Structure 1
Amino acid sequence: MNCIVIVCDTLRVDHCGPYHLGRPLNRVVSPEQPEWTVPTPNMDRLARRGTVFDNAWCGSTPCMPARRDIYTGRYEFLERGWGPLEDDDLDLPRQVSGPPNQSLGWQLGQGYPVSYMVTDHFHLWEQGAGNYHMGYTGFDFVRGHEADAWKTDPIVFPCPDDAGHKVERHHRNVHLTRKSENDYFCAQVFTQAADWLESNKTHDDFYMHIDCFDPHEPWDPPEDLLKMFDPRGYDVDRWKSMVPYDEWGNHYSPEELRHVQARYAAMVTLTDKWLGMLLDKLDELDMWKNTMVIFTSDHGTYNGDRGRIGKLQTHQHDACGHIPFIVAHPQDGHGERRSQLVQLVDIYPTVLSAVGRPCPPDRHGIDLLPVLRDSAAATRRYAISGMFGRSVTITDGEWILHQSPVPDNKPLYWYGHSTARFIHYDLGPYENGRRAVDCPSWETPTWLSDKRADPNEFANLAEALPDKLAELQRELADKLVGLGAPPEQLERLGL
């Protein structure tokens, strides 16, 4: 079977049609969202062909930690933060395609499937993470998004953000290369992916990975799509394509926040529109009969929820931790939904199963093919997620606990040879395979919520329900032990 994995960065689950089901955003999870409905006809189209997982949770956050979960089938955030693949990582493309630096003829002769990546995600190349492309048979990199150091022409160009911000590179690149909607980054990604399918459709059991940076910031959608949500378009007093990761009231008026929310919704609409090009190509080539498609995101983002905007500030509440996850299988689960808990680490064993390759031992992920065939098949009792050195989240889909560390957040160690070159951590010297970490955590209390009555987790029930709190803390401790997490994690979390 062929397998295509599509990861759209920072895609909120409540903006996806298979989850909002046509409801206005403020009636899905968060009343702090606008009253508009975000049309995503191509996500809906994929859902009709596939299985929608209602209880999908990210795992390690943010962007690159989530990708290491996908590439290794193991939670990164318990051992390390944002970084490259380590030398001993059994990364997914190599498990599919065999040893790197071989000829295609040798690879096919040995019976390995072809693997290919199409992406505009600059972090995959950036210092501190830039080796995630190396295991693929081939790859295509769409240049110019966010902080991609590409164009250097000494020109004057419109830049809504501060000139000293690295996203200035984005606006320079856009000014020099964007002539029409076809030149938007998600348009290029899905167009090139469709072109690869056209040229490679006769390969047996290929794996294609599409890593689309949209709808991650910078949010600069076409004005006609923006006007679907804000009739003023870009005719506003001021706007910036990036957002501060902070309480929104420190930066925006309510009207300005609505404009930010409109730009995000327009980016989702744009991304969905160009996803349709890929689905059209699968239709045209009649590939659905032997191709499985997995569609998901690395995490969501706060966009007015809980008084915040952006990521990396507090617990992995629903707006960040709950993600879309749709699997379209050639035979199984068409038009169905599943309530089982699934996570990004599950992509690893599921892809290997689909393309007929063995899965290495000691993975945290679960093969989801049995769940597509059988709605009663089990996955896991609890999902966990978090950011390295911060709180750890555990949920059974009904109750959710965000466990904060003890005040000094110690002991804490960073495992592996890599260092913290993107998100800063104070690391000690490398000794015995690890580095001591001095890392303050967020000033947020341990948080317990009943998601059935309070899906956006506004009410903290930790003090009111001490028995339930203790029960989930015990389950979290057992889960960490079962995963083989470093033992000091229990100590720093007060477990």
Structure 2
Amino acid sequence: MNILRYLIIAIILIIGTHHEGVAQDNTVKERDARPNILLVFVDDLDHEPLGFMGNEIIQTPNIDQLAAEGVAFRNAFAVTATCITSRGTLMTGQYAARTGIYFDQFDGFTEEQAAMSFPAQLRQSGYHTGYVGKWHLGRFREGMFDDDRAYDGQGQFWSEAYPPERGSHLTDRLGNQAVDMIHDAPAGKPFAMTVGFKAPHVQDGFHPVEPYPASPATAVLYERDEIPAPPLSDSAFFESQPDFLQQSLNRVRWDYRLGPPESLNFQRSMRRYYRMVTGVDRQLGKMMQALRETGRLENTIIVFTSDHGMYLGDRGFAGKWLGHDTAIRIPLIVRDPGLREAEVGTNREQMVLMVDLLPTFLDWAGLSPPEEVQGSSFAPIVGGQDPPDWRSEFFYEHHSFADRIPRSEGVRTERYKYLRYLDSEPLYEELYDLKKDPDESNNLADDPEYADLLRQMRDKWEQWQKEVQ
């Protein structure tokens, strides 16, 4: 049914472009006036190490400028904190429970999933679509991109073709490709481009000595800076967690990537992580300049976000996957040149999700999402509206690599968080009052005073399990 729907849309568009006279001119002018869309999609970027978020050490002037010229969402979340799964959610606007896109259970998009992706739908409606960088969703991209510069797999910051002494760092190369793609975009039609940075994701192979190999352009930054200890990074808190969490992949990677906050390894790794973030920031600046040079900046909506958050020593972990806000909260900035002056440089508190990006992109293009899409457009919120029926809670799920990462599901409301570890025996649950305990340090699941709330959150979880299918 979906493929037939898209075929009908394509036929209508073709017929519309062959009308003669004034009707044809009006159609073209209306279509061409739609904004360009540039999505900068970063990998493993925690929402806190950014200048505009109050970090006084890291240098992110271009990201900060983007926030100052647009709006920043303070409550944006991934619905699964895994690279592949989150990308599947981005492209389809659906939870993994519906798409079946899990890290260890995914061979590539089906034709139907590719057809309903936001690039395919925008392309059918007349957009020039392009992709640069880390794809991580298999090889099937047929019909999605006019300009396809994606690469498969994780990618290497330094490779045999581009070793440090002979070539550029992957982040720099992707930035250069993005600039070229902006310059190469055809005149007379809007474009929708995605730039997928690998940084600041750890080096493929999880190298124990150099997990975050930064570009030489940023190699001396932060050398004298002392990176502060993250929340709940003391050994006492880690040891208070159940054994299956202490033995998970999050802790295994902590051992060789980070270590205690006072250790030399922690400081070295975090400084290099910061350098990788600054490297991405510099490429954003180059893309902004390319938009200015081509006269497209003031007709381009720029979205900057990440696939999920990161444990950077929080709770004694390194990685993502679990449902604490550290792992699921994402940075989200939207620079819309159509914003009213009073809205520029402001924050948005509404709860927005990865599933919302597809319907938002379609909304900006004057399109409606397919019925299967589970997100909602936040375009009105960008513009300063406060929809009365906007969500106040969402479902979280993680089902990949169950032998190394505990499978979990849960519900996050504006005030409370409930997490449930599906394979734990006896069942292990977490319940937090986020207003009183934003770091999620005090598990209330066994507190008799919160027994009624625990039952309510369990009920929400059961209902959400059905709704996301």
Instruction: Check if 1:65 corresponds to 2:75.
Output: no
Structure 2 equivalent of residue 4 of structure 1: 38
Q: Please tell me whether the aligned partners of residues 432 and 444 of structure 2 are also in contact (alpha carbons under 8 angstroms).
A: yes
Structure 2 equivalent of residue 325 of structure 1: 332
Instruction: Check if 1:14 corresponds to 2:48.
Output: yes
Structure 1 equivalent of residue 422 of structure 2: 405
Per-residue deviation, 1:278: 0.7
Name the CA distance, whole Å, in 2 between partners of 1:217 and 1:174. Answer: 20
Name the CA distance, whole Å, in 1 between partners of 2:317 and 2:287. Answer: 34
Unaligned runs of 5+ in 2: 1-34, 204-211, 227-248, 401-406
Q: Please tell me whether the aligned partners of residues 82 and 308 of structure 2 are also in contact (alpha carbons under 8 angstroms).
A: yes
Provide the identity percentage: 23
State the one-letter code of the partner of 2:311: Y
Structure 1 equivalent of residue 130 of structure 2: 116
Task: Decide which of 266, 275, 296 is 2:305's aligned counterpart.
Answer: 296
Name the CA distance, whole Å, in 1 between partners of 2:118 and 2:278. Answer: 30
Structure 2 equivalent of residue 88 of structure 1: 112
Structure 2 equivalent of residue 191 of structure 1: 176
Per-residue deviation, 1:276: 0.9
Q: Please tell me whether the aligned partners of residues 251 and 317 of structure 2 are also in contact (alpha carbons under 8 angstroms).
A: yes
Q: Secondary structure at the match of 1:400?
A: strand
Task: Decide which of 137, 141, 159 is 2:146's aligned counterpart.
Answer: 137
Name the CA distance, whole Å, in 1 between partners of 2:225 and 2:160. Answer: 25
Q: CA, structure 1 residues 49+275, in 2 after alignment: closer, same or farther (shift >3 Å)?
A: same
Per-residue deviation, 1:92: 1.8
Structure 2 equivalent of residue 74 of structure 1: 94
Q: How does 1:99-248 map onto structure 2 within 5 Å?
A: 112-119=126-133, 121=134, 123-124=136-137, 129-132=138-141, 135-141=144-150, 146-147=154-155, 171-173=158-160, 176=163, 179=166, 183-200=168-185, 202-218=187-203, 219-222=212-215, 225-231=218-224, 245-247=250-252
Q: How many residues align?
A: 383
Q: Secondary structure at the match of 1:61?
A: coil
Give CA deviations for 1:205-256 in whole Å, capped at 9, x if unaligned.
22111111111111101466354333499xxxxxxxxxx7425664446221
Task: Decide which of 280, 291, 307 is 1:271's aligned counterpart.
Answer: 280
State the one-letter code of the partner of 1:113: Y
Structure 2 equivalent of residue 480 of structure 1: 465
Name the CA distance, whole Å, in 2 between partners of 1:172 and 1:3. Answer: 31
Q: Please tell me whether the aligned partners of residues 77 and 388 of structure 1 are also in contact (alpha carbons under 8 angstroms).
A: no
Q: CA, structure 1 residues 15+232, in 2 after alignment: closer, same or farther (shift >3 Å)?
A: closer
Q: Please tell me whether the aligned partners of residues 117 and 133 of structure 1 are also in contact (alpha carbons under 8 angstroms).
A: no
Instruction: Check if 1:255 corresponds to 2:264.
Output: yes
Q: Secondary structure at the match of 1:88?
A: helix
Instruction: Give the TM-score normalised by the residue count of structure 2.
Output: 0.75
Name the CA distance, whole Å, in 1 between partners of 2:83 and 2:462. Answer: 26
Q: Whose helix proportion is higher, 1 or 2?
A: 2
State the one-letter code of the partner of 1:322: R
Q: Please tell me whether the aligned partners of residues 392 and 404 of structure 1 are also in contact (alpha carbons under 8 angstroms).
A: yes
Q: Secondary structure at the match of 1:15?
A: coil
State the one-letter code of the partner of 1:88: E
State the one-letter code of the partner of 1:373: G
Name the CA distance, whole Å, in 2 between partners of 1:222 and 1:139. Answer: 25
Structure 2 equivalent of residue 453 of structure 1: 436
State the one-letter code of the partner of 2:383: R
What is the root-mean-square deviation of aligned Cα atoms in Å? 2.7
Moved more, 339-348 or 194-203: 194-203
Name the CA distance, whole Å, in 2 between partners of 1:213 and 1:133. Answer: 22
State the one-letter code of the partner of 1:116: G
Q: Please tell me whether the aligned partners of residues 248 and 257 of structure 1 are also in contact (alpha carbons under 8 angstroms).
A: no
State the one-letter code of the partner of 1:310: G
Name the CA distance, whole Å, in 2 between partners of 1:276 and 1:326. Answer: 15
State the one-letter code of the partner of 1:302: Y
Instruction: Give the TM-score normalised by the residue count of structure 1.
Output: 0.71
Structure 2 equivalent of residue 387 of structure 1: 398
Q: Please tell me whether the aligned partners of residues 57 and 385 of structure 1 are also in contact (alpha carbons under 8 angstroms).
A: no
State the one-letter code of the partner of 1:263: R
Q: Secondary structure at the match of 1:39?
A: coil
Per-residue deviation, 1:351: 0.9
State the one-letter code of the partner of 1:282: L
Name the CA distance, whole Å, in 1 between partners of 2:272 and 2:292. Answer: 31
Q: CA, structure 1 residues 12+178, in 2 after alignment: closer, same or farther (shift >3 Å)?
A: farther
